Amino acid sequence: MLQQTTVNTVIPYYRHWVRTFPTLVHLARATPQKVLRAWQGLGYYRRAINLHRSARVLCRDFNGRFPEDENILKQLPGFGDYTTAAVLSIAFNRRLPLIDTNARRVLLRLHNIRTGNGKDHEHCLREFLMKNLPRRNINIFNQALMELGALVCRPHAPLCQACPLRLSCQAVRQGDPGAIGTKPKKMFERIRVGAALIEHKNKYFIQRRPPGGLLGDLWEFPGGKAKGAESIRQTLAREIKEELGVRLMSTRAWIRIRHSYTRFKVDLHVWFCRTKPLPKADRSHKWVGLRNLGRYPMPAANAKILVQLQKQKKGENSCEYC
Ligand code: SF4
């Protein structure tokens, strides 16, 4: 949960997750839909899918216990070098170095390494850590190093006066630690998207995104990205024809929702739409009543549409920009 996400953001998700799945068996027995719903809003949904698959393998083949063998762990879905080292060192106290973004920044500054993005030096940093890992309490050491990076050796304005490493830190001697290990500011791509609310007999039409792709397996209202100077009406007509094989007959603009994902910002235009004929339901397309829509895991921007629909139902005003 903490990859690419801050602790403060994660805490409520984590608490909800462990209440929903208190043991590995609860997670293994859950439906993929329930797992994705519990993860909704955290992004990088592949991680939730991999956790679920790993729980199933562990329950089926290892009696619900984590194997301590590095090579076996690496065969679990989603277990690369970092996750394997994290589980083995933190849960089993195995003598393995752990380098996340925060730990990497501390090490780069400690050695005043200014070139490249830090990953070029991974091998040297790992060797340095291997030589300096304590004999005991590896779990505490590894977590402390990551925490030092997050709280003290912060990307901008590191708190060097409070740092236990300041006497041996090369970057401090050079006088510019904040210039090391920071990424250039992200440029967001801005995209216009149309979403169609197709309503029939108090039910709304939703569809499941293809598995494996961006936001794969999540449910959404039909629609898509506007191409070039296309109007939202043209976008909706095209997307509905392509995705559902039906014709857009009439539209009514409703609200606009703004949402930022990791790499892009979405300006989502939500319109009520009528089509001819009505789109058909199947395994990946459903007509769902408002009360049940919350059971379907949705990308964050679509979840905001749902909140606005629920407000409208209660007679509360929907905002034009959410
Ligand atoms: S002294 Fe400053 S730059 Fe060096 S490791 Fe500590 S916080 Fe980071």
> Looking at residue 114, what is its pLDDT?
84
Q: Would you say the CATH fold of 189-313 matches that of 1-79?
A: no
Q: Domain ranges in the chain?
A: 1-79, 94-184, 189-313
The closest residue, in CA terms, to atom 3 on ligand 1 is: 177
Residues of the chain with pLDDT under 50: 322
Q: Which residue owns the Cα nearest ligand 1 atom 8?
A: 153
What CATH number does domain 94-184 carry, 2.60.120.10, 3.40.309.10, 1.10.1670.10, 1.10.10.410? 1.10.1670.10
pTM score of the predicted model? 0.79
Cα 108 from Cα 121, distance rounded (Å): 9
For 189-239, the pLDDT digits (tens) are 899 999 999 999 999 999 999 988 888 899 999 999 999 999 999 999 999
Dump pLDDT digits (tens) for 244-288: 999 999 999 999 999 988 778 999 999 999 999 999 999 999 999
Indicate the DSSP class of residue 304: H
Provide the pLDDT for residue 116: 64
Give 186: exposed, middle or buried? Use CB within 10 Å, 0-12, 13-18, 19+: exposed
Distance (Å, whole) CA 239 – CA 247:
10
Residue 293 token pair: 């829509």
Assess contact for 149 and 105: CB atoms under 8 A. Answer: yes
Top mutation candidate among 107, 159, 167, 169 for ligand 1, by most atoms within 8 Å of CB? 169
Q: Give distance in angstroms: CA of 123 to centre of ligand 1.
A: 21
Compute the distance from residue 145 Cα to the ligand 1 centre, in Å.
Answer: 11
Q: Give ligand 1 pocket residues (Cβ under 6 A).
A: 106, 109-110, 152-153, 158, 160, 163, 165-166, 169, 171-172, 177
Ligand 1 centroid to residue 86 C-alpha, Å: 23
* Residue among 42, 38, 37, 33 nearest 10 (CA): 42
Query: What type of residue is 35?
Result: V
The owner of tokens 């792709």 is: 213
- Residue 159 alpha carbon, nearest atom of ligand 1: 7
**Partners of 248 in beta bridges:** 275
Mutate to test the pocket of ligand 1, among 145, 165, 167 (most ligand atoms within 8 A of CB): 165
**Angle subtended at Cα 195 by Cα 193 and Cα 198, rounded to the nearest 5 degrees:** 165
- CATH topology for 189-313 is Nucleoside Triphosphate Pyrophosphohydrolase (3.90.79)
| Class of the CATH domain delimited by 1-79 | mainly alpha
CA of 182 to the centre of ligand 1 (A): 13
Instruction: Give 235's Cβ-side CA count (13 Å radius).
Output: 21
Residue 181 C-alpha to ligand 1 middle, in angstroms?
11
Taking alpha carbons only, the member of 45, 59, 52 closest to residue 5 is 45
Instruction: Reduce the DSSP state of residue 32 to 3 states and report it.
Output: helix
* Number of other CB atoms surrounding residue 158 within 10 Å: 23
* Ligand 1 centre distance from Cα of residue 163 (Å): 6
CA atoms 312, 315, 321, 322: torsion sign = negative
Q: What pLDDT score was predicted for residue 239?
A: 97
